[in-house]
Structure 1
Amino acid sequence: MTSAHISAPSPTVNQRKQYIDKLPKHDPAKQPDNRFPLYLGDWRKSDPRYDDDLAMDNMDEPHLKRKLTILKAYPEIEKLYGHDNRTALVTILTAAAQVYFAYLFGRVWTETVAGMLVFAYVVGGSITALYGVLIHEASHNHAAPTVFLNKIVGLIANIGIPVPIYASFRRYHLEHHTYQGVTGMDPDLPLEWEKKMIRGNAALKLLWLFIFPVMYVVRGASMKRSPSTWEIYNVIFTLTTDMLMVRFCGLRGLLYLFLSLWFGYGLHPGAAHFIQEHYTFDDGQETYSYYGILNKPYMNIGFHNEHHDFTKVAWSRLPAVRAMAPEYYDSLAYHTSWLKVHWKFITEPGYGPQSRLGRTMEDHKTARKQAGKIRRADAHAYEAMALDDMKDTTTKEE
């Protein structure tokens, strides 16, 4: 299948043709996956006006195979692997800022309610949305040189969030990478009630996005798994920081942090990437990048295809991945405005929580085994990459 049907913003037809002409052509004898080289599927996106469930694919998630394909053409991308020490510094500074603002609203500016609400949305919500990015980087070990130090960075980011998020996010997000779209395994997929109740109704979608912070808790709980050691540590750590917050900043200061969390993970421009990343705006494409101005304050979180393809590349070097292999990324559909992502998703009845792609574990595993049909050297490289990418997803904590 080609990527001729693009509904998200894309290059011009001539530009896309120039990019695609540079790509290797599909040879079934050498490459059994008919999605090669862009790894776009032949499925039709789920439309809540007509469909009752997710669109389903009979192939594995596309990113590991595309990673191998891109590395054949551009092996120098591996030089971009590694963490960025600036992430830890930003985490410390933003955590200190939110604690200071909590003190101001808890002990100093105690007469204003409207002012606190506005500030919590504009400033607190923006910072909390950034915490999500920082926790994401720490979860992939991009914030510090060791796994343990990355976990400490994740806990520091959690100081400004009054509920224990970091350890659970790390656990389930790494599983999302390994089992993207696998029903019953990918914790990022919508639950049954989300698909059945909300569908394409604009008012319900607006309400659903407003309560989106709750969905992280509900979806995690639906996995019915015992908490890991670090999740327990995270609960103890957050309860301690919350008690200290009440002691020094008052209940009102803690309320400011709750409001910041609610706004920053809900109906906020900085939270639109939750919709941008995997909600299907076009047939055949399950992951989308965002190339807009808000990537600067939000540390390139919009480069989502690049991130899924190369999970070992820190935020600061993701644009370099795209620059090295433009024919693979600029020929995919992408977004340029998070405001438009929210607007389109909410107002158009053809989109809803079910606008996602699913696959069974059996299909996922079967499609992965196709790599063995590639010539032996490629198959070995593929297997090594698969094991390397999957090893961090274990729920056993150090």
Structure 2
Amino acid sequence: MGSPTINQRDKYEDQLPKKDASTLDSRFPLYLGDWKKSDPRVDDDLAMDNMDEPHMKRKLAILKKYPEIEKLYGHDSRTSLVTIAAAAAQVYFAYLFGKVWTETFWGFIVFAYAVGGSITALYGVLIHEATHNHAAPTVFLNKLVGLTANIGIPVPIYASFRRYHLEHHTYQGVTDMDPDLPLEWEKKMIRGNAALKLLWLFIYPLMYVVRGAAMKKTPSTWEIYNIIFTIFSDALVVKFCGLRGLLYLFVSLWFGYGLHPGAAHFIQEHYTFDDGQETYSYYGILNKPYMNIGLHNEHHDFTKVAWSRLPQVRSIASEFYDSLGYHTSWLMVHWKFITEPGIGPQSRLGRTMEDHKTARKQAGKIRRADNHAYDAMAVDAQKEKDQ
């Protein structure tokens, strides 16, 4: 876990914009809260905040000082090429294990973890980029990229992830609305027990299915398309790679979304390691192969910036990000989460919809006071859903 020193914080404070008459939120400009993080040894539920999520307002504060960041908006077409290459590679490995390397067991397991799991974790990044329309110039083409990435994942993930992830951005931390928050049984059963947390991370791929089902929503049109597409692609894998080839994809999925360094960002992003901070970035070497997925504060602040330009956001507005707590090792993220009894599934921040809406109204007032560009995430998310 990285954190600025006191002297560094003083330096950053000198660089940060000061409050003025147009500032209507006491958290300005970093939008850190005054709440205490939940401790599973004594707390049964999430820590609660009475304010809205911080990212929209921090974006406004950053854009007021650095309006040139808006020039970074847009997609990166290289994402589509990476998606095609990754899908082709994983299907090729499925063929090798299904038709060629059929006698090895431990080689199958080791390869599925080290290579298959790593590629599958990358699929999650590619699907994330397509979800935000960062992979291609149109919404429809981004959906095709998402389906292409899903070829190497033997269950229909893309369309459901897109649906629920956009809701996560819109309603971050809002109880009963943010699909990324843990369920009641997760909070009650796991708590700070190291063995149970290890098991919980091992079955984390299942959590996506369970949490989605808990929302009790009728499948969207694209979710139905995704189901049909995946059944068809799985049938082709069985035909050309055999059942063992399909099993390789399943095992790769289980490893790549569970106890794998490339999956540690699921814990890194919003599990509260510090009081008052609900989103964390990762600044480590694995950002390179995983397309800067660790730059999560930067991404939530600027959802229209593709992965390749997120480092520029951090560089331009460094005083905003370097003064926040951050992680430098995904291995340590998992290690600390598992071994520290004061961290568990309920180490998240929640808020009611009423509090979120009340505090969010200030953003409109800030907009009128500052006369600055304002695009609400809720509006963007709805437009993307409609398309």
> Same fold, TM exceeding 0.5?
yes
Letter in 2 for 1:17: D
C-alpha distance in 2 between matches for 1:191 and 1:393:
25
How far apart are residue 22 of structure 1 and its match?
1.0
C-alpha distance in 2 between matches for 1:245 and 1:397:
33
Which of residues 248, 258, 270 in structure 2 aligns to 1:266?
A: 258
The number of equivalent residue pairs is: 387
Would you say the 8 A contact 2:38–2:346 is kept in 1?
yes
Which of residues 352, 370, 379 in structure 2 aligns to 1:390?
A: 379
> Is the aligned partner of 1:21 residue 2:10?
no
Spell out, residue by residue over 1:166-208, the C-alpha distance to the aligned partner (whole angstroms, 9 max, x if none).
0000000000000000000000000000000000000000000
Report the counterpart of residue 124 of structure 1 in structure 2.
116
How far apart are residue 102 of structure 1 and its match?
0.2
Would you say the 8 A contact 2:170–2:381 is kept in 1?
no
C-alpha distance in 2 between matches for 1:311 and 1:178:
11
> Is the aligned partner of 1:91 residue 2:83?
yes
Distance 1:394 1:206, change over 3 A: farther
> Is the aligned partner of 1:33 residue 2:22?
no
Structure 1 residue runs of 5 or longer lacking an equivalent are 1-7
State the secondary structure of the residue aligned to 1:385. Answer: coil
Would you say the 8 A contact 1:245–1:253 is kept in 2?
yes
How far apart are residue 372 of structure 1 and its match?
4.2
How far apart are residue 101 of structure 1 and its match?
0.2
Letter in 1 for 2:344: G
C-alpha distance in 2 between matches for 1:211 and 1:393:
32
How far apart are residue 47 of structure 1 and its match?
0.3
How far apart are residue 391 of structure 1 and its match?
2.6
State the secondary structure of the residue aligned to 1:234. Answer: helix
Distance 1:394 1:217, change over 3 A: farther
How far apart are residue 93 of structure 1 and its match?
0.3
Report the counterpart of residue 5 of structure 1 in structure 2.
none
Report the counterpart of residue 330 of structure 1 in structure 2.
322
Spell out, residue by residue over 1:295-319, the C-alpha distance to the aligned partner (whole angstroms, 9 max, x if none).
0000000000000000000000000
Spell out, residue by residue over 1:262-299, the C-alpha distance to the aligned partner (whole angstroms, 9 max, x if none).
00000000000000000000000000000000000000
Report the counterpart of residue 167 of structure 1 in structure 2.
159
Would you say the 8 A contact 2:64–2:372 is kept in 1?
no
Report the counterpart of residue 284 of structure 1 in structure 2.
276
C-alpha distance in 2 between matches for 1:373 and 1:237:
46
State the secondary structure of the residue aligned to 1:350. Answer: coil
C-alpha distance in 2 between matches for 1:105 and 1:128:
16
Report the counterpart of residue 56 of structure 1 in structure 2.
48
Spell out, residue by residue over 1:136-190, the C-alpha distance to the aligned partner (whole angstroms, 9 max, x if none).
0000000000000000000000000000000000000000000000000000000
Letter in 2 for 1:65: K
> Is the aligned partner of 1:12 residue 2:5?
yes
Report the counterpart of residue 359 of structure 1 in structure 2.
351
> Is the aligned partner of 1:369 residue 2:358?
no
Distance 1:371 1:395, change over 3 A: closer
State the secondary structure of the residue aligned to 2:32. Answer: coil
Letter in 1 for 2:45: D
Letter in 2 for 1:15: Q
Would you say the 8 A contact 1:167–1:230 is kept in 2?
yes
How far apart are residue 373 of structure 1 and its match?
4.1
Structure 2 residue runs of 5 or longer lacking an equivalent are none
C-alpha distance in 2 between matches for 1:114 and 1:375:
59
Report the counterpart of residue 229 of structure 1 in structure 2.
221
Identity %: 82
Report the counterpart of residue 133 of structure 1 in structure 2.
125
C-alpha distance in 2 between matches for 1:376 and 1:123:
51
Would you say the 8 A contact 1:291–1:335 is kept in 2?
yes
Letter in 1 for 2:180: D
Which of residues 210, 213, 228 in structure 2 aligns to 1:218?
A: 210
- Give the TM-score taking structure 2 as reference length: 0.98
Would you say the 8 A contact 2:56–2:301 is kept in 1?
yes
Which of residues 89, 103, 121 in structure 1 aligns to 2:95?
A: 103
How far apart are residue 325 of structure 1 and its match?
0.5
Spell out, residue by residue over 1:47-72, the C-alpha distance to the aligned partner (whole angstroms, 9 max, x if none).
00111100000000000000000000
Letter in 2 for 1:390: V
Matches within 5 A, 1:173-322: 173-322=165-314
Deviation beyond 4 Å, 4+ runs, structure 1: 394-397
C-alpha distance in 2 between matches for 1:394 and 1:352:
35
Report the counterpart of residue 336 of structure 2 in structure 1.
344
How far apart are residue 395 of structure 1 and its match?
7.9
Cα RMSD of the aligned pairs, angstroms, is 1.3
C-alpha distance in 1 between matches for 2:364 and 2:167:
24
How far apart are residue 111 of structure 1 and its match?
0.4
Would you say the 8 A contact 1:49–1:199 is kept in 2?
yes
How far apart are residue 394 of structure 1 and its match?
5.7
Would you say the 8 A contact 1:229–1:397 is kept in 2?
no
How far apart are residue 393 of structure 1 and its match?
3.8
How far apart are residue 11 of structure 1 and its match?
2.9
C-alpha distance in 1 between matches for 2:233 and 2:307:
28
Report the counterpart of residue 4 of structure 1 in structure 2.
none
Letter in 2 for 1:349: P
Report the counterpart of residue 142 of structure 1 in structure 2.
134
